[in-house]
Amino acid sequence: MENSLVQSKQVEHIFLTEVFKKLCPFYMSIGMTYEQFWYEDIELAKYYLEAYRIKEKREAEKTKWIIWQQGAYIYEALCDVSPILRPFSKEKKPLRYPKRPYGLEDTQKEILDQEELKERQLLKTQIYFQNWARNMQKRFKE
C-alpha cells in the first residue's frame, strides 16, 4: 500500500535545459542573441520580453488608430456622396473630396500648400497658353 502511494506522488522530472531550448528561438526572434540568452544575466531576457510586450502594445494601438481613421474617411465619403443616393433630393452633386489627409502637421501642410500653388501656376500657364493659341488662330484666319 505504501509503495503505491509513493508511485502516485512521483513528479515528472523536467529538465530546465529542455525548457530553455524551447524558449531560445522565441527570444532570438525578438532580438536577443544566442550568447546573450545562454551566457548573460537572466535579467536581460526579462527586459527583452518586457520590451517586446511594450512594442506589441504600441503596434496594436497604432493599428486601432489606423482602422479608426480609415473608418472616418469612409464615413465622410459616404456622407459626401449621399446626395446622389437620395432619389428625391434637390442636390444632385456630391460634395468635393478633401484634398488633404486629416491630422497633418504644419510642415506637411506647407509642403502640400506649395504643391497646390505649383498646380495653380501650372493651370494658369496652360490657360494663358490656350488663350494665346486661340488669339493666334484668329489672327491667321483674318
Block residue for cell numbers 444632385: 92
The per-residue pLDDT for 51 is 94
Give residue 8's pLDDT.
53
Within a domain: 109: yes
Q: Is residue 110 part of a domain?
A: yes
Among 7-11, 62-66, 73-77, 131-135, top mean pLDDT goes to: 62-66
Report yes or no on 65 lying in a domain. Answer: no
Spatial distance between the Cα atoms of 82 and 92, rounded to a whole number of angstroms: 9
Q: Is the pLDDT of residue 47 over 90?
A: yes
Domain residues for the domain of 124 are 104-142
Domain count, the chain: 1
At 136 the pLDDT is 86
| Weakest mean pLDDT among 9-13, 51-55, 88-92 | 9-13
